[in-house]
Amino acid sequence: MNIVLFVLFCSAVCNGQPIQNATSTTVTPASGQETNTSRVRNRLTEAIGNFSIEFLFKTSVLQVPGQNMIISPITVWTALAVIAEGASDDTKTEIIRALRLSRNQTATRENFGDIAKWLTVNTKTVEIAKFNGIFVDKLRLPLPEFQSTSKIYYDTDTVALNLSNPVVTADLLNRVISNFTHGRISSIVQSDNLQNTPMVLASALYFKGQWTVPFNTTSTSKQPFYDSNGTQIGEVNMMYNRAIYPFSNIKWLQARVIELPYGEQNRLSMLVMLPNHGVSLESMFSNFKNVHLDSFFEELRLSKEEFSEDEVDCFIPRFKIKSDLDLTEVLKQQMGVQQLFDMSKARLPKISHTPLYVSKLVHKAEIEVTEEGTTASAVTVAEFSNRIGVVRFEANRPFTYMIVERLTNTIVFGGFYRQPSLY
Ligand SMILES: *[C@@H]1O[C@H](CO)[C@@H](O)[C@H](O)[C@H]1NC(C)=O
Ligand SMILES: *[C@@H]1O[C@H](CO)[C@@H](O)[C@H](O)[C@H]1NC(C)=O
Ligand SMILES: *[C@@H]1O[C@H](CO)[C@@H](O)[C@H](O)[C@H]1NC(C)=O
Ligand SMILES: *[C@@H]1O[C@H](CO)[C@@H](O)[C@H](O)[C@H]1NC(C)=O
Ligand SMILES: *[C@@H]1O[C@H](CO)[C@@H](O)[C@H](O)[C@H]1NC(C)=O
Ligand SMILES: *[C@@H]1O[C@H](CO)[C@@H](O)[C@H](O)[C@H]1NC(C)=O
Ligand SMILES: *[C@@H]1O[C@H](CO)[C@@H](O)[C@H](O)[C@H]1NC(C)=O
Ligand SMILES: *[C@@H]1O[C@H](CO)[C@@H](O)[C@H](O)[C@H]1NC(C)=O
């Protein structure tokens, strides 16, 4: 019986190294001015948005309560879309439903091409790179048509290997990923994950961005962190900045949202969503269920126009989150993708004539959010003036964050911060 091990690796390293010749905090961030209003919109951007929100929420439901989390919904989506190309019958139907794919494959491929094009950025201040590969045993190469579809439409390369030695293979995969992530992620695959595995699908996303307006390390200080009921549960190193950040109080979400842009071109931003006092992260998130992600972004845009000159006192903890998740159960129990993981039911005839199923879907991600590289001495006390008219955004209780590509509104990374620590 053939086994497919399906591995996803991701890394978001977003340390806000100050840009050389940094702008001072009173300068309007680039995203304050709408430089390019043309957005990439197609049926698929909406579908991916819906999937991403649902997937973030459902993954958190299966987590141990109170833990921090980081995942990359677009990476999971892409990997499953490649698998869908090789699937048939109910196996395919289940994936299509979870991914909200249309039955029109031509349209999906074209639309995805438009999105993927924008998910590659490489400038002095922002770098985002993706890597998709199918590592497969030399003797059991997938069907040529599947290989070319994966390459042409999903930029996924097929790499033939001698997989008979799991130790050598694990080492090779680790080296490829390490090279790709600039050494940030070095050992992900263990050889015992590769026993009897004819195929490994690996998908990695690397992001590194510098804040458009860097935080000043001298303003970082130790501050209490509360649960959503206001009980102190720990301490964090709180970064502080006063700047003109796009900001909105979104009533239907029961949350306040701030947008922290990266780089100079207004392409990627971190959105921090802070539930109102007394509102739990879970109930805030469930408010997304009946609303388009697009209307959320529209509300943010309108608010940006209305309050474009308002400064915000922004407090965000410095943090690092690593997630190492087995997403198999989330997909099976929460997203209705069951047959794919079932040895006797999976139908993947366009990948290979021999029966295949997916044994596991593993996801690794890492995010680091800092003001800059210098280690700040922990107990600097900063003075935070409470000037009238300055909005105060203080992420000192559980919040959600998302790194979003703004032309396509793709959620590149997303997660929860609930468990404070002095990073
Ligand atoms: C920073 O500014 C100085 C003086 O204006 C200039 O010589 C230097 O090239 C700038 N550095 C960068 C990285 O832009
Ligand atoms: C705006 O983005 C579109 C692509 O979406 C591009 O073709 C156009 O040149 C950009 N315009 C400006 C002014 O940057
Ligand atoms: C996305 O979700 C919204 C809100 O539930 C729904 O109206 C819309 O039809 C969904 N779109 C797709 C493509 O799934
Ligand atoms: C599928 O989508 C393509 C491209 O958007 C379009 O040209 C074609 O007519 C569609 N086919 C069907 C059956 O709707
Ligand atoms: C694969 O590697 C094993 C030992 O690692 C070797 O015995 C075998 O001949 C190799 N197979 C192929 C097809 O290269
Ligand atoms: C590492 O990556 C570079 C380009 O990113 C590539 O030229 C090189 O061949 C890679 N090395 C390995 C061992 O994969
Ligand atoms: C950081 O803050 C300190 C004290 O307020 C100030 O002296 C310094 O110039 C600031 N650094 C930057 C890069 O703005
Ligand atoms: C907050 O209080 C409510 C009602 O007393 C309780 O159900 C909930 O578990 C509390 N939440 C936390 C995070 O302690």
Closest CA to 314 of 243, 211, 213: 243
Task: Over range 225-254, report the average pLDDT.
Answer: 92
Task: Give the tens place of pLDDT for each residue, 144-185.
Answer: 999 999 999 988 888 888 878 888 888 888 887 777 767 766
User: What does the domain layout of the chain look like in residue ranges?
Assistant: 4-210+319-368, 217-318+376-417
Please write the tens of the pLDDT for every residue from 353-370. Answer: 888 888 777 777 778 888
Highest mean pLDDT among 77-91, 171-185, 290-304: 77-91
User: Taking a C-beta distance cutoff of 8 angstroms, is the pair 403, 287 a contact?
Assistant: no
Nearest ligand to the CA atom of 287: 3
Q: Among 106, 108, 110, name the best residue to mutate to test ligand 4's pocket (greatest count of ligand atoms within 8 A of Cβ).
A: 106
Q: Is residue 175 within 6 Å of ligand 6 at its C-beta?
A: yes
Residue with tokens 């209307």: 295
Secondary-structure class of domain 4-210+319-368 per CATH:
alpha beta
Which residues approach ligand 2 with their CB closer than 6 A? 36, 38, 40, 407
Judge contact between 69 and 323, C-beta under 8 A. yes
- Mean pLDDT along residues 40-63: 87
Q: Smallest Cα–Cα separation from 40: which of 415, 403, 409?
A: 409
pTM > 0.85: no
> Does ligand 3 lie within 6 Å of residue 20's CB atom?
no
The mean per-residue pLDDT over the stretch 110-120 comes to: 84
**C-alpha 19 to ligand 1 mean position (Å):** 11
Distances (CA, A) of 300 to 48, 49, 217, 294: 19, 16, 28, 10
Distance 179 CA to ligand 6 centre (A): 6
pLDDT tens digits, residue range 376-392?
A: 222 223 333 334 567 88
User: What average pLDDT does the segment 207-214 reach?
Assistant: 83
The CB of 232 under 6 Å from ligand 8? The reply is: no
Which pair of structure tokens corresponds to residue 314?
């922004």
d(CA 232, CA 220) in angstroms, rounded, equals 19
DSSP labels for 329-385? HIIIIIS---GGG-TTT---TTT-SS---EEEEEEEEEEEEES-SSPPPTTPPPP--
Q: Which CATH number fits domain 217-318+376-417: 3.20.20.390, 3.40.50.1000, 2.30.39.10, 2.30.40.10?
A: 2.30.39.10
Domains 4-210+319-368 and 217-318+376-417 share a fold: no
The confidence score (pLDDT) of residue 399 equals: 96
Taking the centre of ligand 7 as the mean of its atom positions, its distance from the CA of residue 216, in whole angstroms, is 6
Give the DSSP per-residue string, 138-179. GGGPPPHHHHHHHHHHH--EEEEE-TT-HHHHHHHHHHHHHH
- Between CA 239 and CA 252 the distance in angstroms is 28
Please tell me the residue having the least CA distance from ligand 5 atom 5: 165
- Span from the CA of 180 to the centroid of ligand 6 (angstroms): 7
Tell me the C-alpha distance between 59 and 69, whole Å.
9
User: Is ligand 3 within 6 A of the CB of residue 50?
Assistant: yes
Cβ(196)–Cβ(4) under 8 Å? no
